Structure 1
Amino acid sequence: MAKPSIGGTETRLISVAGIAALCLVAGFLVLAIIPKDDPRVSAVRQLVFDLTSPMLELAGRPAQAVEDIGNYFTTLGDVRNRNRELERQNIELRERINELTRAEFLMQQYRGLLNLPSEPDLQMVNARVIADLNSPFVHTLVTKGGRDRGIAPGQAAMGPNGLIGRVISSGSNSSRILLLTDFNSHIPVVALSSDVQAILSGTNRPQPELQFLPRQAELKDGDLLVTSGRGGQIPVGLPVALVRRNEDGKLTVQLLDDLQGLNYVRLVLSQATKAPPSELQLAPDISQ
């Protein structure tokens, strides 16, 4: 039996390599001769991409697999860290719930001893923000929902964390909200820790300011401001802002919600408390 010729095999390999080299040289010459903006150049380039794309995809699979494995372990580590953080927050929330339950029980006992009337429960409706009319001079929002949902002027508007403004007009199916930052906004507030009362007034800037503070007012950094209910327009106890002091010791206010980019608000369906009749209204008519 005759053995295969090694020399013939080498000759065929050299011939194949030579043909491939000639094809490459011919291709480069063609690309050099033909102008770059010629449509044939784009067609040839696209044909090369079409022919080599399966090989490029196949060659990139190992690297993609390694990257996917790395992302998996990174994501797994992030999930574990997030789970630990959520467990810690859950423990803190359970402790907070226990404190609030005890405080509510004591409050009910104190109200019973003092024979105080209980505050009415707040009813709220959600409304979607359909327009943001903020400008250098006007800070308002337009929401979907008006008189058809019980929304009326004077009602409080809440964000995810606290008060953001009040309703100033309501139509059949839309309402307009005056934000706390508007120059025409003035909300009576009280510091929860020290019972210091003031007026939170808008300044047409990102943060409102406190006005009519007592001279000896003691407000600390981080004190929570809530609505005082003065005027009977907005219910008492709605969270509004935090007291802040800058490096110079100047008193500032930080709202609990970012008023930019609100998508939904909650409107408190409360009725304003009517003022009692004046002495002139109660006096008998002696003109007759």
Structure 2
Amino acid sequence: MAAFDHSPPPFFKRGPAPLAMLTLYVAVAVSLLVLDARFRYLEILRQALGVVTHPLQQLAHAPARGLAQAGEYFQSVDALQDENQRLTHAKLESAPQLLRLQQLEAENARLRRLLAVRDRQPASGQVAQILYTARDPFTRRVVVDKGQQDKIAAGQPVVDDAGIVGQVTRVYPFVSEVTLITDKDQAVPVQIVRNGLRSVVFGLGNGQLELRFMPANADVQVGDLLVTSGLDGIFLPGFPVAKVLSIERDTAYSFARIVCAPVAGVENFGEVMVLAQREAPPPRPEPAEAVDGAPEEKVVKARKKRPQRH
């Protein structure tokens, strides 16, 4: 009787072991993460994927946009007329304050010229629409509809009608990613309006902020308004950031725990403004005596102006 062959047919032959395949895939993934984090080798691939997936994202958001536009279209005419009338009255009521504000700004500019103080940099930018939040649940990021084609660059601050919202951290051809100030990796130098104390506010990742590095006996009160100090060279000074919610003072620790709430609608969807990058301060002119290789005439004139020593 012939012996039976129990070897599996070629079709059912096993390949590499699952553990070996898992090890290989993990090694490749870790290598890609390291290369992308340290050397930015995958930035071009990320840009290409953003271009390819942008039409799909627009198609996925088309039904929601269509329903929203249909709802706006079917609003009653009476409601729109009432809103228009209310805005007209509000404009007339605020006209005296606006006129006085323009006069005060002109007076402030004239006083700055008299005191030889450099004017504040004007805040300019472009309006962007928040499309959706980032997929990572451990971060606080949103995606707006402005990208490289709109001359958006990483590092630009983002604000709304109430205060600072966040900062552009990644730019694609058609969209940009904005990291909110409530993110754990975001920090903003601030200043207390009431007394001028400067510190840094950090995001907690839960929709709140923490004012750190303040001594336990610091003059901080609940309800204090925090504005940008402008010391980081990114945010213009004077923009509202947060208000103090609670203060925990413990003599066992050197610093107080100060929890704040953002002033802007950080967790709300809507429109924001991406501000232009701050201009670099003009270089200070060097004195003629300290310039190497200056013309001989300038050197002679500089020497004549020096007082003679006896």
Q: TM-score range by the shorter chain?
A: 0.5 to 0.7
Q: TM-score, normalised by structure 2?
A: 0.54
Summarize the Cα distance change of 1:217–1:111 in structure 2 as closer, same or farther, 3 Å threshold: farther
Kept in 2, the 8 Å contact 1:134–1:141? The answer is no
Kept in 2, the 8 Å contact 1:240–1:256? The answer is yes
In the alignment, which residue of structure 2 is the partner of 1:231? 232
1:256 maps to 2:257: no
Structure 1 stretches of at least 4 aligned residues deviating more than 6 Å after TM superposition: 86-90, 246-250
In the alignment, which residue of structure 2 is the partner of 1:210? 211
Query: Which stretches in structure 1 are left out of the alignment for 5+ residues?
Result: 1-78, 277-283
Offset at residue 160 of structure 1 (A): 2.8
Summarize the Cα distance change of 1:224–1:97 in structure 2 as closer, same or farther, 3 Å threshold: farther
SS in 2 for 1:183: coil
SS in 1 for 2:155: coil
1:159 maps to 2:147: no
Whole-angstrom distance in 2 between the partners of 1:240 and 1:191: 10
SS in 2 for 1:200: strand
Query: Which stretches in structure 2 are left out of the alignment for 5+ residues?
Result: 1-81, 250-255, 284-291, 293-310
SS in 2 for 1:100: helix
Kept in 1, the 8 Å contact 2:212–2:258? The answer is no
Kept in 1, the 8 Å contact 2:230–2:237? The answer is yes
Offset at residue 126 of structure 1 (A): 1.1
SS in 1 for 2:158: strand
Deviates more, 1:226-235 or 1:264-273: 264-273
Whole-angstrom distance in 2 between the partners of 1:163 and 1:264: 13
In the alignment, which residue of structure 2 is the partner of 1:148? 149
Which of the two has higher C-alpha Rg?
Answer: 1
Offset at residue 164 of structure 1 (A): 0.8
Kept in 1, the 8 Å contact 2:248–2:258? The answer is no
SS in 1 for 2:238: coil
In the alignment, which residue of structure 1 is the partner of 2:197? 196
Offset at residue 205 of structure 1 (A): 1.2
Q: Deviations over 1:246-282 (max 9, x none)?
A: 7999743121223233122110011464899xxxxxx
Summarize the Cα distance change of 1:134–1:94 in structure 2 as closer, same or farther, 3 Å threshold: farther
Offset at residue 192 of structure 1 (A): 2.1
Deviates more, 1:115-124 or 1:97-106: 97-106
Offset at residue 120 of structure 1 (A): 2.3
Alignment-mate amino acid for residue 261 of structure 2: Q
In the alignment, which residue of structure 1 is the partner of 2:105? 104
Summarize the Cα distance change of 1:275–1:168 in structure 2 as closer, same or farther, 3 Å threshold: farther
- Residue pairs, 1:36-47, within 5 angstroms: none
SS in 2 for 1:172: coil
Whole-angstrom distance in 1 between the partners of 2:232 and 2:225: 20
Alignment-mate amino acid for residue 268 of structure 2: G
Whole-angstrom distance in 1 between the partners of 2:180 and 2:216: 28
Kept in 2, the 8 Å contact 1:199–1:211? The answer is yes
Kept in 1, the 8 Å contact 2:145–2:176? The answer is yes
Offset at residue 95 of structure 1 (A): 6.1
In the alignment, which residue of structure 2 is the partner of 1:240? 241
Whole-angstrom distance in 2 between the partners of 1:204 and 1:160: 22
Alignment-mate amino acid for residue 117 of structure 1: R
Summarize the Cα distance change of 1:275–1:200 in structure 2 as closer, same or farther, 3 Å threshold: farther
In the alignment, which residue of structure 1 is the partner of 2:131? 130
Kept in 1, the 8 Å contact 2:212–2:257? The answer is no
Q: Deviations over 1:226-248 (max 9, x none)?
A: 11111212222222122334799
Whole-angstrom distance in 1 between the partners of 2:183 and 2:171: 18
Offset at residue 121 of structure 1 (A): 1.8
Q: TM-score, normalised by structure 1?
A: 0.57
1:267 maps to 2:267: no
Whole-angstrom distance in 2 between the partners of 1:174 and 1:183: 23
Offset at residue 188 of structure 1 (A): 0.5
Kept in 2, the 8 Å contact 1:143–1:174? The answer is yes
